[in-house]
Amino acid sequence: MGEIGVSVFNMAVGRGHDLNLPLILDGIRAAKTERADVLVLPETCLQGYADFSFPEDSPGRTEQRLFYVEQAEPIPGPTTELIQAELEGSPLLVQIGMAEATQHGNVIYNSVALVNSEGVIGRYRKTHNRGEYPYFDQGADLPVFDTPVGLVGSLICYDICFPEVVRSLAVQGADLILMSTAWPMVGHTRANDFYGSRMDLCIQANAFFNQVWIAVSNHCEKGAYSTQTDYYGGSQIVGPTGSAAVAALDEPGLVSLRADVHQDVQVSRARDFFGANLLQDYRPDLYARATARAVEVKSSA
């Protein structure tokens, strides 16, 4: 396939469509100017991410639930159609995070949509999000999408903490993983923030263990919610050796590179780490006990 351009957007996300949609379109236009083939946008960047500081049954929690009921959109829907129109004549593939409304109206997912000039070509619903109750339900699938830039997998934020997610996408043939996230800091000093450094560690370790590219887009707003939460930023594109090829800090903006993604993956699996192909040496026949134990613990809880 040859080289492709990959961009990720470090985005200061606001509250609601009206604030965020112009920024999203600006990011798409900037990626088109960069001649990118893929653009990753953050988690729930259309509506904004949830504030989890409200106590159960509090008015704030009720108001926020109603906010998502009112602002969630179907996929395909108005925003994906607007993005499709913006992409007319462009090869760009956009992953956008949003609160997704279902046809029944009472179930909302934390989702990403993959959109190009032909429309929605993929949708992923966050699977590891028990902590997002009562706002978002859990997804139930780890799909890989056949796109103009090859096989692509998607994940959202906390999914990266479970090594089986990226491995599941890699063994299905994905060379490029697109991660949309809303990853906060525990404090306000980016240089030594524990939460932020764990994001970097998770992304880079998963890229290395699976010898794939991972492109990550994060929020970077400051002083969010009543808790004055700062988001880490750190949107980055990590290569199959686990090193960040390019990365942002905590200011809004686009980070981009060009790479022969498929060829780099093949070379990495043939040369870079003792010539070891970690997927070839994968032994799922030995790991069933771990899965069975997890199911057993979950069932007895």
CA atoms 129, 114, 16, 225: torsion sign: positive
If you average pLDDT over residues 114-136, what whole number do you get? 95
- 123 confidence band (pLDDT: 50, 70, 90): very high
Q: 61-65, 157-161, 215-219, 254-258 — which is least confidently predicted?
A: 61-65
Q: What CA–CA distance (Å, rounded) separates 228 from 149?
A: 39
Task: List for the chain the helix, strand, coil content (%; round to 5).
Answer: 35, 25, 40
**Is the pLDDT assigned to residue 294 strictly greater than 60?**
no
Q: pLDDT tens digits, residue range 4-51? A: 999 999 999 999 999 999 999 999 999 999 999 999 999 999 999 998
pLDDT beyond 90 at 61:
no
Count H helices, E strands: the chain?
A: 7, 12
247: containing domain: 4-300
What pLDDT is recorded for position 179? 99
pLDDT at residue 151 tops 60: yes
Task: Return the percentage of the chain with pLDDT > 70, whole number.
Answer: 96
What is the band of 52 on the pLDDT scale with cuts at 50, 70, 90?
confident
Query: 290 or 212, which is more confident?
Result: 212
Exposed/middle/buried for residue 291 (C-beta within 10 Å: 0-12, 13-18, 19+)? exposed
The pLDDT tens digits of the residues spanning 80-107 come to 999 999 999 999 999 999 999 997 667 9
**Mean pLDDT in the chain?**
94
Amino acid at 263: Q
Can you tell me the mean pLDDT for 177-185?
Answer: 98
Q: Measure CA 211 to chain center.
A: 18
Token pair for 260: 């022969």
Asked about 126 being catalytic, the answer comes back as yes
Paired residues of 236 in beta bridges = 216, 247
Q: Which of 43, 100, 132, 221 is catalytic?
A: 43
Report the CATH number at residue 119: 3.60.110.10
Does residue 220 have an active-site annotation? no
Per-residue confidence (pLDDT) for residue 299, from 0 to 100: 52
CA nearest to 232, candidates 249, 253, 214, 207:
249
Domain count, the chain: 1
Residue 296: per-residue pLDDT = 55
Question: Using N-to-C axis directions, what is the helix angle for 163-171 and 194-210, rounded to 10°?
Answer: 30
What span, in angstroms and rounded, lies between the C-alpha atoms of 231 and 217? 12
Residue 193's pLDDT is 97
Residue type for 58, please? S
- Confidence check: pLDDT of 293 > 70: no
**What pLDDT was estimated at residue 198?**
97
Reduced to 3 states (helix: H, G, I; strand: E, B; else coil), residue 7 is strand
- Copy the structure tokens of residue 32: 């088109």
Give mean pLDDT, residues 250-277.
96
* Residue 177 contacts residue 208 (beta carbons within 8 Å): no
Single out the catalytic residue among 34, 100, 132, 157.
157
CA dist 206 and 212 (Å) reads 8
CA distance 138 to 121: 21
Task: For residue 250, give the nearest of 187, 202, 205 by alpha carbon.
Answer: 187
CB 120 within 8 A of CB 80: yes
pLDDT band at 301, cuts 50/70/90?
low
Using the Cα atoms of residue 83, residue 123, residue 36 and residue 255 in order, give the sign of their dihedral. Answer: positive
Q: Which residue of the set 45, 73, 100, 126 is catalytic?
A: 126
278-289: average pLDDT? 88
pLDDT at 264 over 70: yes
- Per residue in 230-255, pLDDT tens? 999 999 999 999 999 999 999 999 99
